[in-house]
């Protein structure tokens, strides 16, 4: 077990703003007072650990996992792959990634989704995997459809896959969304626009990766993820002031 070291402070300016009135729900769900900032403590520096035994062999294949391989989901077959690193460019191995998404028609399998695009009887919409020793991961799925949502009069979410990543420390916990290169709806989406820094927003857009596509089978998109890093110092365990 690694000794707990302080996490690098989170660079909040690289994240979405909490209050963004064009995304209407954020207006009443964003704290109005400043966050309390201090150096991370053991509660943020340790984190839950998930073993390989907890992950089934089909868990990262959303094309087959809902029917346990009996039938295939409808839609454009894609592979989504990438690497998880920390801010010090170290690979993050054995970390849990969970994804969820709408089906090819833009409909979620969720008790609260009432959009009239049909459910796909062969598609559940969730998957999970652990990164390998180099922080690498891959999912097989179908390209999710864009969908309308109640916000402004006619808002549509661009095609996207939701990502949940753990890292090895609770303070690294992150949920985000992956968008698809070339989707014109990205520029129109107020949820995307909560990330005010253009260079950061672009990091959520996965490029088409034909090198990793497979002929007569699937397209590929590459989505790399960076989690918070640890402070690196040779003096960490010396008493203060020495």
Partner 1 sequence: MAQELDRLIETPSQTAGPYVHIGCLPSFAGVEGVYPQDLAVTPFAQGAAGEIITITGSVYDGTGTPLCDAVLESWQADAQGLFAGQKGADEKVSGFCRFAADKDSGEFTLRTIKPAAVHGRNKQIFAPHIALWIVARGINIGLQTRIYFEDEDNHADPLLARIEQDHRRATLLAKKVSTGTYRFDIRLQGEGETVFLDL
Active site members: 108, 147, 157, 160, 162
- List of residues 6+ apart from 129 with CB closer than 8 A: 55, 59, 60, 96, 97, 137, 138, 139
CA dihedral 100, 106, 17, 26 (to 10 degrees): -100
Q: What is the DSSP string of 105-153?
A: TS---STT---SSPPPTT---EEEEE--TTSEEEEEEEPPPPEEESSST
Q: Binding of partner 1 at residue 126 (CB under 8 A)?
A: yes
Q: Binding of partner 1 at residue 73 (CB under 8 A)?
A: no
The C-alpha atoms of residue 86 and residue 2 are separated, in whole angstroms, by 15
Q: Binding of partner 1 at residue 152 (CB under 8 A)?
A: no
Site for partner 1 in 172-191 (CB under 8 A): 173-177, 191
Q: What does residue 209 show for φ and ψ, rounded to 5 degrees?
A: -130, 80
Of 78, 143, 225, 230, which one interacts with partner 1 (CB under 8 A)? 225
The pair of three-digit structure tokens given for residue 155, joined into one six-digit string: 């808002």
Identify whether the C-beta of residue 165 lies closer than 8 Å to the C-beta of residue 178. no
Q: Binding of partner 1 at residue 23 (CB under 8 A)?
A: yes
Span from 51-59, 73-81, 134-142, 212-220 in contact with partner 1 (CB under 8 A): 51-59
Q: Binding of partner 1 at residue 242 (CB under 8 A)?
A: no
Of 73, 100, 158, 205, which one interacts with partner 1 (CB under 8 A)? 100
- Least Å distance, CB 198 to partner 1, is 11
Of 71, 72, 85, 146, which one interacts with partner 1 (CB under 8 A)? 85
Q: Binding of partner 1 at residue 108 (CB under 8 A)?
A: yes
- Least Å distance, CB 216 to partner 1, is 27
The C-alpha atoms of residue 179 and residue 146 are separated, in whole angstroms, by 11
Q: Binding of partner 1 at residue 98 (CB under 8 A)?
A: yes
- Residue closer to partner 1 by CB (options 42, 184) is 42
Q: Binding of partner 1 at residue 112 (CB under 8 A)?
A: yes
């Amino acid at each position: 077990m690694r000794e707990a070291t302080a996490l690098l402070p989170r660079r909040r300016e690289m994240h979405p703003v909490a209050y963004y009135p064009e995304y209407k729900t954020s207006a009443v769900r964003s704290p109005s007072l400043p966050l309390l900032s201090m150096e991370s403590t053991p509660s943020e520096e340790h984190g839950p650990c998930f073993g390989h035994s907890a992950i089934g062999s089909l868990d990262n294949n959303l094309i087959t996992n809902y029917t346990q391989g009996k039938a295939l989901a409808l839609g454009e077959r894609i592979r989504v792959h990438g690497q998880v690193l920390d801010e010090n460019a170290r690979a993050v191995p054995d970390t849990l990634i969970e994804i969820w998404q709408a089906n090819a028609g833009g409909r979620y399998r969720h008790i609260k989704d009432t959009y009239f695009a049909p459910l796909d009887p062969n598609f559940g919409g969730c998957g999970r995997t652990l990164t390998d020793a180099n922080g690498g991961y891959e999912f097989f799925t179908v390209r999710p459809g864009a969908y309308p949502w109640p916000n402004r009069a006619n808002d549509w979410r661009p095609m996207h896959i939701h990502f949940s990543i753990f890292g090895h420390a609770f303070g690294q916990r992150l949920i985000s969304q992956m968008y698809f290169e070339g989707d014109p709806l990205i520029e129109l989406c107020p949820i995307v626009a909560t990330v005010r820094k253009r260079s950061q927003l672009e990091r959520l857009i996965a490029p088409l990766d034909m090198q990793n596509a497979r002929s007569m089978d699937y397209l590929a998109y590459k989505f790399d993820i960076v989690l918070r890093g640890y402070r690196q110092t040779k003096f960490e365990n010396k008493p203060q002031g020495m």
